[in-house]
Amino acid sequence: EPEVTQTPSHQVTQMGQEVILRCVPISNHLYFYWYRQILGQKVEFLVSFYNNEISEKSEIFDDQFSVERPDGSNFTLKIRSTKLEDSAMYFCASSDRTPIGSPLHFGNGTRLTVT
């Protein structure tokens, strides 16, 4: 069964550094998402992406965050200048949304630690 893959599985970075989290969504999916889970807290929506543009974003997704689909397969989340509070597990997801209500398929996540 096709799956969403994320790299790296763990990323440690220093505060103020830029990080790029990478995801390869399922190949025929058109809708892409990033969620995050801070340790001990709920899984939170960050951003959704369709047709090469952001379709919705949460309050968390401020100017420090950006997403990109640089080619036909990758979907990336960039954090421009990391803060301690960005430490979390970041999940990428994709969906074909056909029919509406089709589930999101999640990757195994990237654990980001900001020191």
Partner 1 sequence: AQSVTQLGSHVSVSEGALVLLRCNYSSSVPPYLFWYVQYPNQGLQLLLKYTSAATLVKGINGFEAEFKKSETSFHLTKPSAHMSDAAEYFCAVSEDGNKLVFGAGTILRVKS
Q: Which of 21, 107, 112, 114 binds partner 1 (CB under 8 A)?
A: 107
Q: Closer to partner 1 at the Cβ: 14 or 103?
A: 103
Q: Closer to partner 1 at the Cβ: 19 or 61?
A: 61
Spatial strand order in the sheet of 65-68: 5-7, 19-24, 75-79, 65-68
Name which of residues 28 to 87 contact partner 1 (CB under 8 A).
Answer: 31, 33, 35, 41-45, 48, 55-56
Judged by DSSP in three states, 115 sits in coil
Contact residues toward partner 1 (CB under 8 A) are: 4, 6, 31, 33, 35, 41-45, 48, 55-56, 91, 93, 95, 97, 99-109
